[in-house]
Amino acid sequence: MSGVARLLLSRGVAVSGSDAVESASVRLLRELGAHVFLGHDPTNLPDDEVTVVISTAIRQDNPELVAARERRLPVMVRAEALAALMANHRAVCIAGSAGKTSTTSMLTVALQHTGFDPSYAIGGELIASGTSAHLGTGDVFVAEADESDGTFVAFSPEIAVVTNVGADHLNYYGTKEAYAAAFDKFAARIQKGGVLIVCADDPGAAELGQRVASTGAAVRRYGRKATAAGDATLTAFQPELGHGRVHMTYRDRAFELKLQVLGEHMAFNALGAFLAGVAVGASPEDVVAGLAAYDGVRRRFELKGRIGGVSVYDDYAHHPVKVAAQLRAARQLTAARGRLIVAFQPHLYSRTLEFVREFGTALALADEVVVLDVYGAREDPIPGVNGGLIAKAVPLPPERVHYVPERSEVPSVLAGLASSGDIIITMGAGDITALGSELLDQLARKGRPS
C-alpha cells in the first residue's frame, strides 16, 4: 500500500490515508507529502470526492471503508490501483507461492544496471535504495503480483514470471486446486505476443507452463530441468560463505554469476529474473552483470547485527517452503562449532492449522527452535490453534524446542540459548521483526561483566 501511495505522490496526486501505528513507512510518506492519520476513523476521509484504495487485509467493517461505501465513493483494491498505474507501460509481473519479492527485486536491480530506469512496486524494500516503489523514466514497469487474495488477475502483463505454484492462502481459495487455477487466470491475462516464464523444477509452475504452451502462447523455462534453447538452465550451484556462484547456460552459451545472497533458491530466482530481463530487451551479458549487483531486500535474511560472536538475522518467511529454503541457506554461515537457532512466529491461524506438520518438518532444519504464538493479522482466533501445535510437530528432542507464547520473553530466551558462533534468525510475517534489536540488547547485556 505504501508503494502505491509513493507512486501516486510521484505523479503529483494528492494522497491521504491511515495506518494503525507509527512506522518508518508512515514517516516517509509524510515527508513525500501524504497526509497520514494514525488509527481508523470516518473523519479521516476527505470531504471532497476521492477514490479510496484499500488493502484486502483490512476487515470489511473498517470504519473508513464503511463510510466510503455509504458515501458511494469509488473503492478499489491495491492491485487494481497498481494496474492503473501500469497503463502505457510494458508490464512485467512476478507471481508465485514463494520467491516473488526476491525475483522482482533482482529484476529491478538488474534492469537499473543495464541502463533501464524501470518503474517498480515490490513487496519489500530494496536494501540499496531503501524503498519499495519508484516511478521511473523508462517504459518498463516491474511489479510483484500478489496472489493471496486473487486480485493479481487485475494485471495484464507483457511478461509474466511464475516462480512456483504450491498451496497457500487456503483461507481465501478453499482448496489447492482453486489456488492453482488462479494462476491459470493470471497467465491468461498475458498480452498477445507476450511470454510466460516458469520454473521447470517446480511441479506446479511446470504444469502451468505446459497448459499455457498448449494454447500456442510463448513459454520460457528456467532451472535444472529447463533444457530448450530459449531456456535458462542451471548447470551448477556452488555455495560460498555468504554468497553463491551460479553456472547457467542460455542459447548454447555458458554464463557464470556470483550472487551476493544466500541459497540455491536464490539462484533459481536469479534465473527467472534473467529471462525476464532478456525478454524486456536487455542483453544477457548486461543482465548477468546487473544481477551480480543485487544485495537483497529488507526482511529477506537481513543482518540486524553481531554481538559476542552471535549473528542476528531477520527473515519474512511464513510458509513451510520458504522457511525450509532459508534455513538450508543459512547453514552456509554456521561455523563448525556454531548452531542455527530460529525463532518462528506463525502467521494466520488458518495457515497454522493447514500446515502444522510441514512447519514442524521445516523448522527441524535448525538446531534450536523457539516458537511464538500466532500473529493473527486480519483473522479471528481459531479455538485450539496456537504456536504450541507447531512446537509439538517439530521432530527434534524436546529440550531443543521451546514454545514461548509471551512475545516479550523471546529475546531473553534466545540470548540464553546463544553461544559464540551461533546464528539466530527471527522469522515470520508479523511483528517478530521488531525483536531483533531487543535481542541484540540482551546479548550485549549478557556479555557485560556483572
In tens, the pLDDT along 1-56 reads 888 999 999 999 999 999 988 888 889 899 999 999 999 999 999 998 999 999 88
361 is catalytic: no
- Same domain membership, residue 252 and residue 227: yes
325-351 pLDDT tens trace: 889 888 877 766 689 999 999 999 998
Residues 379 and 263 in one domain: no
Instruction: List the domain range (segments joined by +) for residue 309.
Output: 302-447
The average pLDDT across 180-203 equals 95
| Residue 209, pLDDT above cutoff 60 | yes
For residues 108-120, average pLDDT = 92
Whether residues 238 and 360 share a domain: the answer is no
Whether the pLDDT of residue 154 is over 60: the answer is yes
pLDDT at 72: 95
- Is residue 125 domain-shared with residue 264, that is, in the same domain? yes
Same domain? 15 vs 156: no
Which residue in 64, 125, 144, 358 is the catalytic one?
144
Q: HEC profile for 208-274? A: HHHHHHCCCCEEEEEECCCCCCCCEEEEEEEEECCEEEEEEEECCEEEEEEECCCCHHHHHHHHHHH
239 band by pLDDT with thresholds 50, 70 and 90: confident
The whole-model pTM stands at: 0.76
Q: Which residue has the higher pLDDT, 229 or 88?
A: 88
pLDDT at 150: 85
Q: Per-residue pLDDT averaged across 219-236, rounded?
A: 93
Distances in Å between the alpha carbon of 290 and those of 116, 131, 262, 282, 293? 11, 18, 17, 10, 5
pLDDT at 127 exceeding the cut of 70? no
pLDDT, mean of residues 164-191: 87
Q: Is the pLDDT assigned to residue 313 strictly greater than 80?
A: yes
Please report, for residues 311, 361, 368, the alpha-carbon distance to residue 446 in angstroms, rounded to integers and kept in the order given. 14, 31, 19
Q: Average pLDDT of 133-137?
A: 90
Q: Among the three residues 77, 98, 129, which one is the final residue of a domain in this structure?
A: 77
Domain stop point among 242, 267, 292: 292
Do 168 and 226 lie in one domain? The reply is: yes
Separation between Cα atoms, residue 131 and residue 49, nearest integer Å: 30
CATH number of residue 208's parent domain: 3.40.1190.10
Q: Active site residue: 64, 100, 108, 304, which one?
A: 100
352 is catalytic: no
Q: Does 297 reside within a domain?
A: no
Structural domains in the chain (count): 3
Q: Is 100 a catalytic residue?
A: yes
